[in-house]
Amino acid sequence: MRTKLFVALIALTLVLGLTSCQSKKEESVSKEVPTRSDIEIQYKWNLQDIYSSADEWESDFEYVKSHISDIEQFKGTLGKSGKNIVSCFKAQEKIERKLDQLQIFAYLQKDEDTRISENLALTDRISSLYSQYAQKASFVAPELRNIPEAKLNKFISSTKELNIYEHYFDNFLRQKQYILSTREEELLAMAGNVFRNFSRIREALTTADIQFPMVKDDEGNEIELSYSRYRKLLLSKDPKIRKGAFEGMYSTYEKFNNTSAATYDGSVKKDVFYSKARGYNSSLEMSLVNDNIPVEVYDNLIETTHKYLKPLQHYMELRKKVLGIDSLHLYDTSVPIVEDSDKKYPFDEARELVLSALKPLGKEYVKDAKKALNSRWIDVYETKGKRSGAYSWGAYDTHPYMLLNYNDTRDNIFTLAHELGHSMHTFYTNKTQPYVYANYSMFVAEVASTFNENLLMHYLLDNTEDEQERLVLLDKWADNIQGTLYTQVLFAEFEKKSHEMVEQGIPLTAKSLNNAYMNILDEFYGDVLTLDEKYKVTWSRIPHFYRAFYVYVYATSISASTALSQKVLADEPNVLENYLNMLHSGSSDYPIELLKDAGVDMSKPDAIENTLKLFDKIVTEMDEIISKKQ
């Protein structure tokens, strides 16, 4: 069975939670990031739903540690009978489910405050235990591979308890050629614990050790820069504030450019090592094979997006015109293109807005979503040492959890809808599917999250008659497509380039990575933007790159979810039922097939083109409204 390692669903790097929080303090502005003790309990997730005490966690840890060798009793027996295979699978599942639960508790607790060494120690221990288990279980795939296909099929047909694994074996046999000998698989499993260090080093540097400078906010206060506050400062109407935030963030990253390059080089070489060891044609192919995604889907995504760069550049030109500036910098592209109100959306209000927007998904979905939003499944606000960004994550035997860095802005409402989409997908999959199919593909995961964002956007647009408000929302929509599709394709192209460089023997250095990133950035934006030299280090800010070839799914997913949400809102026959079935399906079929059943074929460029044309339409409407006002 496939071990369920690190299945966190990380939100878009560009859709981070912003700053501050709703705390016991009554100060409207805090110069320092608050601590967890400042936050009211209803806005903090309840990890006691997983383990009520440290002793309980330790008890499960010791159980797994003492039983981790039990799997070895099946070594050399799998080719003898279907019953032996069933017994082995059951033993694996028993251990893996406990490992998953131990892991999620350790990592969520660590993410509350990455500065606490005891929390980091828990993640180290569970990672080491996972590695030990992977080594012990490494014989399973090679033994299954060595069973003649006709004999294996006979086992499956004659052993009732193996019927549930029909798709699992179909996927297994399709990838049989990439499975190595027992000893080779054991060695690769042993290497896993070492190779994970590249991501850990990057996280330690950028989260725990990095120190950002003090910068000025809109009130003239000197505040400590953070990831969340950086995003908020980029929304400032004052170009000096935006530039100051940019200089503070990127000058800091520039200091660590060589360290970041060395760390990323190691991560890419890890991917290339695994792909060569298993006999794939490339590391890109390796990342796509398990989900049965053709490499052409990745390449076609990049190619199709390049055909629609003019609407992106039109959007930048419109920004330049509205802002009334001669030179548009990339740090100017987050500020709203039109004047918005300073209205704040407290978290409680955001919850109700999201629930109202999700009504097209039916009463059961809304009821379950309400439970998720009101049962301490969410860690809401930014605090000192807390991991930046947002994600949803849950083990098979826990409810899903959501990490946010909520700051009362409209953007944060969309982040909430996004992560709730992930959580509902996890909730329904775990409720419906057996463990073997609960680990759904990222290719469909981001459909569930961006689908909810689409519903929220349509709800807000349908409930305003104010032209200015409509313009604000259209700008938000365009900005979202830019960040979720165009920017993620830009990232995907950089990942492809960096991996190809290593595969061709070209060293990854700070200079070569900086040049590669800037060349792609220049191709996307051309002469429309002034590309400051410091933007060359942007690649070092993207944590997603340490999970190779992941970001492209944001672009394919927003394309799929745009098409599906349009169909649901148009009340097309069976579409809602088919979409909800997908949310309950986990990995019981290949992701492209699940999406086909839901109503969209991602093996073709149609959905991508549809979304890019929608973007063009949105920008054109904005331009018309703005021109009419002038």
Q: Is 398 exposed, middle or buried (0-12, 13-18, 19+ CB in 10 A)?
A: buried
Cβ neighbour number for residue 568 with a 10 Å cutoff:
21
Bridge-based pairing state of the strands 378-381 and 401-406: parallel
- Residue 23 CA to residue 602 CA, distance in Å, equals 44
- Residue 446 CA to residue 437 CA, distance in Å, equals 17
Of 322, 349, 350, 491, give the one whose Cα is nearest residue 411.
Answer: 350
**CA torsion, ordered 343, 349, 353, 359, to nearest 10 deg:** -170
| 576 within 8 A of 570, measured Cβ to Cβ | no
Of 607, 604, 496, give the one whose Cα is nearest residue 558.
Answer: 607
Is 419 one of the catalytic residues? yes
| Secondary structure of residue 222 in the 3-state scheme | strand
Of 523, 168, 145, 106, give the one whose Cα is nearest residue 310.
Answer: 523
**Structure tokens that stand for 464 in this block:** 């305003």
- Residue 630 CA to residue 618 CA, distance in Å, equals 19
- Residue 304 CA to residue 225 CA, distance in Å, equals 38
- Residue 383 CA to residue 37 CA, distance in Å, equals 9
Read out DSSP for 537-588? GGGGG-GGGGSTT-THHHHHHHHHHHHHHHHHHTT-TTHHHHHHHHHT-TTS
Q: Name the active-site residue from 96, 112, 186, 419.
A: 419
Q: Is 94 exposed, middle or buried (0-12, 13-18, 19+ CB in 10 A)?
A: middle
Cα angle, residue 261 at apex, residues 260 and 263 outer, rounded to 5°: 65
Backbone angles phi, psi at 378, to 5 degrees: -120, 135
Of 335, 347, 305, 331, give the one whose Cα is nearest residue 524.
Answer: 305
Which residues on adjacent β-strands are paired with residue 223? 215
Region of residue 507 (phi > 0: left; psi between -120 and 50: alpha; otherwise: beta):
beta
- Residue 28 CA to residue 218 CA, distance in Å, equals 14
Which residues on adjacent β-strands are paired with residue 224? 214
Q: Count the helices and strands in the chain (H runs, E runs).
A: 25, 6
Element (H, E) at 224: strand 222-224
| 461 within 8 A of 605, measured Cβ to Cβ | no
Cα angle, residue 285 at apex, residues 282 and 287 outer, rounded to 5°: 110
Q: Which residues are catalytic?
A: 419
